[in-house]
A and B are shown apart, each in its own frame.
Chain A
């Protein structure tokens, strides 16, 4: 099993004062590693509109590679513009996952639109950067991964990887909206697709991670990395809509392993990270992102209120077989 040492909160978006589009939230952190710094992409929001509705943007913060608690730079503008009237990403570009491809960076991102009978719909877009991931240009005005017979709506949370010259996209897809006394709540699970070029995707077309909390379990942030001869996935999960009222039902971090990237064995007892007794991650731990840096393994993750007040860092202390 894994054992993580929590190092504390790294970035608090509410401390940034000069950017109206970065008012609060720093969600779904993921990294791109440079020689002297680690660029951490995250998603944020300006203040909500008069009806209480948010749009979301994505941005980055550059951390000193040799001291991840030192902020060197924050992006001047969001890395992606919102889409035009009626497009899939008109109301949000959150979250994102960035990967290098030759001299360019590709970002896979979730576009948000608003619907009448349900609060939103999402699909996955693609944009490309030729300036080391500072800004990205969309490849098209529509999504690169959209709905299909068995993934009817809400494709989101992309995590892009390349293994053995094949592109892998883990993401989540909604299967059902359930009616509650308030607004409808979404059931979503982890899915995956593969591609030879990053543009044309073949969906596996089934859930990747077995559920363990019943049919209303939701899963997010399927974050895969290769380590010590195997593939490891950290993700988060909870029960909807119970999480709205019961802190014990909010996001926790789960774990699965695989030898072939397609078949995954879930064993949350090996995740080795949980909520703290007190502090910024006392109610939930969510949206893990694991990466290797200078011989060490780290995890960025979100705490209470799903990253409303930023993200924190943990370091892998040891693995036990």
Chain B
């Protein structure tokens, strides 16, 4: 593939956001309308203990991605109540149209004691074109199970025919390392299928081969079909030192499939990488691949996990 980078298109520190959020616009994901594109993302406030809470927000842009003409000033989805899986944040959020509804798959975060957090995937539904969402219950639709013990998140759902397909991640272990203050997690990409979007069948099988080592962390799978093939963009990093050591930080990975089951990883084929001296010089993460009119675009975060926003690239390849 060949991409043209269009640069950073949104910086959250330049706008007033709901819920006292002041930095971070992570994991941008789109809902495309006839005349504009809405981009959902997760942004952060600090609670009274100084820890972050992630909230969902959105912006709206023209279809050439030249201008932000609306920034949400409302709460899109409330955080969960005391003890709920999404009490301490929702990050990321994946939205899709399903007939007259918009489904939102949320990754909810809850703080723990021996390790920092756990996560599960919730479902919320909108009947007003994605302006507000009502949660399906106070608990998650996808969470820990026998062979997927914790950190179930990053759900990305596509409906093909009558089946809902979800790509997501789960944590397989926590690592203690002398160079890190807290335990660090390892998580991998997996797949689930559903007939109703609520009950999911899963097999826990890692579908993307590790490239770095067995502790490679894989996140944010984003899947699209074009030119007679399924394409997945995701991000991956080392388990340790990924915050401070550039070489250990997030990069974008790529895999393709002809049957939605077997995926062939080939990061070289993606054809996009860091740009020296730019907003994405150290890190690229949380990709979202989508179609808008007749073009394929890639949204992603750059340095510092998207503290200062997200950027866009457009595919130069011809669509068949």
Contact = CB atoms under 8 A, between A and B. Distances in A.
Interface of A: 84-88, 90-91, 113-118, 121, 123, 126, 139-144, 146-154, 174, 176-177, 179, 184, 186, 199
Contacts of B81: 176-177
B82 A117 contact: yes
Nearest to A114: B113
B171 interface: yes
A30 to B, nearest CB: 22
A104 B87 CA distance: 40
A276 B147 CA distance: 46
Nearest to A149: B137
A143 B146 contact: yes
Closest 4 CB pairs of A and B: A149-B137, A152-B139, A140-B146, A142-B149
Contacts of B141: 148-149
B106 to A, nearest CB: 12
Contacts of A85: 114-115, 173-174, 176, 183
A116 B110 CA distance: 8
Contact of A179 (B82, B113, B145): B82
Contact of B150 (A88, A126, A139, A152): A88
Interface string B80-119: 1111110110000000000000000000001111110010
Which of B141, B143, B174 has most chain A Cβ within 10 Å?
B143
A186 B84 CA distance: 12
Given A152-B138, A177-B83, A115 B111 contact: yes
B87 A150 contact: no
A84 B80 CA distance: 27
B257 interface: no
B144 A143 contact: yes
A115 B150 contact: no
Contacts of A141: 146-147, 149
Given A126-B146, A152-B139, A177-B81, 7 more contacts: A86-B118, A113-B118, A116-B113, A118-B83, A147-B144, A148-B137, A149-B123
B140 interface: yes
A309 to B, nearest CB: 29
Interface in B113-130: 113-115, 118, 120, 122-123
A139 B136 CA distance: 30
Contacts of B138: 149-150, 152
Given A87-B149, A149-B137, A152-B137, A116 B111 contact: yes
A56 B87 CA distance: 27
Contact of B137 (A87, A117, A150): A150
B202 to A, nearest CB: 12
Contacts of B146: 126, 139-144, 199
